[in-house]
Amino acid sequence: MTRIVATNITSPLGYTTEDNYVAVKCGETSLKKLDGYQGVPGRFCVGVFSDEQRKELKLDGFSWYESLMIHSIKDALSRSNIDPSSPKTLFIVGTATADIEELGDCPEHDGDYLAPGVATKKVADYFGFVNVPITVSNACISGGTAQMMADRLIASGAYDSAVVCGADVVSAFVLAGFNAFKALSPMECRPFDMERMGLNVGECAATLILTRDTNGDEEGWHLVDGCLNNDAYHVSAPIPSGDGVRRTAARILTPGLKESLACVTAHGTATMFNDQMESKAIEGAGLGDIYTTSYKPHFGHTFGASGIVEPIITMYSLDEGILLPVLGFEEIGVSGKIKICRAVEKTEKKAFIKTQSGFGGCNGSIIYSRKAEQPKPAQAAEYKEIKTLHIQPDKVILNGEAESYESTGSALVSEIFKKKLLDGSRFFKMDIFSRLAYVATGLLAKDALAGYAPEDIALFIFTQNGSVLADRKHLSTFSNPEDFYPSPAIFINTLPNVVLGEIAVMNTIKGETTLVMLPYRDDALIDRIVKASLSSTRPSVMIYGWVDCEAENSFVADLKMLRIVK
């Protein structure tokens, strides 16, 4: 359990948490209807900064995405006594697309693009952070995943404090992709409503500063507990039963905590499938009798920022003794038995649960409380390395033994799949990063996961470049207005964690699946993150390692499989 000592929200509604809370309380929204925004044909309802706000916030030498993060982090730091230059202070970013608006369809067309981990390092250097920064890219649950990683690393003793920032911006890249999925609403979104038409994308940066809770401070908000998993159902569609989100909530809901909850702060995207799934999850977790709310009608879906900005708003509302309604909600449009907050409601409770789900099958729930709950006792866990795998363009080494293949480069990856894993997946629709990660984990997992409960298997992939090659391919489908054909099949692979969903589906992995991006390979940091996760969650099996692709024929995969001993 960690204590939250400072926050910030930088959005079109305001540049401080206080400004944003007042705007939300007053029923304001950042959503606006724009034609041909960012050059993408059509009318969109989006939560974006005005031209005047962009000029005010944009910093020389930094991209728009980086500038937003800097503003948010600077304000949060000014409200705390945290020293970024301390070796005991960690910096973590949660983002789905990062600097993507600076990417070109080829390197020659790049603006100020930096790989997500490298962009995070640039921001870290601005503030003087001395530790290697971490970037979590778990689609829509990136902000929540980043908080959980910070909480675990602080609990492990590796750090005393963490600055956690969630940020994403609205770009042609994102608009064209989600428009191809037919997921966008031309009107203001209406979560859980009968007449909801889809989501609105939004941009925002939000920051939480977490510290070790050493004295049971009753005055501050606390991150009490959380759980992450995969539903192993589909990479872009939520499991209809809501099983993934339900399991994350059920795992952390003790009877005492459940009774203390004022509300569920839902993901509430206003898409047909996600809201339906989430309603079933909330009901299944036994939370249908407390109020459910969503703030997407105020900010839009801010992706990596959503898991931070939305809990902050709930903290401020509970501090005032009220719950805020779902803006625009009129009539229930989901089958799960849930209680939508329709008007301002009074409450004396000071705790809530935040639920999230995202592409790649990932799900999460986090409980926040003003009461300093008794922390879970540390559970020492011992793991044994049982399998290893190394792949590079001209060799494959499994458990220390070289395997023989005829091909090299990307053709080697395809040959491995055909000879060892032919499984009916969408392998040949994947980008090279996804194909490599899929093949590497498949080889490692083959005949090794039988007998383990799917919920007890975890998967962590670390990378620098992630899905950049798929990103460029997606850009090429709409960069020419005369040849505009963005494809959902291509766009889905631009989220680097999606391959973890592919792997989870084919190997029935229902434990945590997390994608981490670093500015460069750092095996010591990777081991530190993995050990903190193992100590906190104690899965029976963990597959983890480095997978990175610089080009179609320049790549490396180094993976390990661990099994719990005691």
- pLDDT by residue for the chain (566 residues), tens only, comes to 899 999 999 999 999 999 999 999 999 999 999 999 998 999 999 999 999 999 999 999 999 999 999 999 999 999 999 999 999 999 999 999 999 989 887 787 788 788 999 999 999 999 999 999 999 999 999 999 999 999 999 999 999 999 999 999 999 999 999 999 999 999 999 999 999 999 999 999 999 999 998 765 667 999 999 999 999 999 999 999 999 999 999 999 998 899 999 999 999 999 999 999 999 999 999 999 999 999 999 999 999 999 999 999 999 999 999 999 999 999 999 999 999 999 999 999 999 999 999 999 999 999 999 987 665 665 678 999 999 999 999 999 999 999 999 999 999 999 999 999 988 778 999 999 999 999 999 999 999 999 999 999 999 999 999 999 999 999 889 887 778 888 888 899 999 999 999 999 999 999 999 999 999 999 999 999 999 999 999 999 999 999 999 999 999 999 999 999 97
Residues across the chain:
566
3-state secondary structure at position 474: helix
Which of 71, 222, 267, 298 does the annotation list as catalytic? 267
Q: Do domains 2-369 and 383-564 have the same CATH topology?
A: yes
140 is catalytic: yes
Considering only CA atoms, which of 551, 533, 552 is closest in space to residue 134?
533
Considering only CA atoms, which of 533, 518, 422 is closest in space to residue 463?
518
298 is catalytic: no
Structure tokens at 333: 């449009």
- How do 2-10 and 31-35 pair as beta strands? unpaired
Residue keyed to tokens 């839009």: 300
Domain definitions of the chain by residue range: 2-369, 383-564
Considering only CA atoms, which of 329, 330, 346, 319 is closest in space to residue 268?
329
Integer CA distances (angstroms), 387 to 341, 445, 565, in order: 50, 9, 15
Which of 140, 165, 189, 263 does the annotation list as catalytic? 140
Tell me which fold the domain 383-564 belongs to.
Answer: Peroxisomal Thiolase; Chain A, domain 1 (3.40.47)
CA gap 482, 466 in Å, rounded: 29
CATH classification number, 2-369, choose in 3.40.47.10, 3.30.450.20, 3.20.80.10, 3.30.1310.10? 3.40.47.10
What is the reported pTM? 0.96
Compute and round to an integer the Cα radius of gyration of the chain: 22
Which of 71, 222, 298, 301 does the annotation list as catalytic? 301
What are the backbone angles phi and psi of residue 12, rounded to the nearest 5°? -60, -15
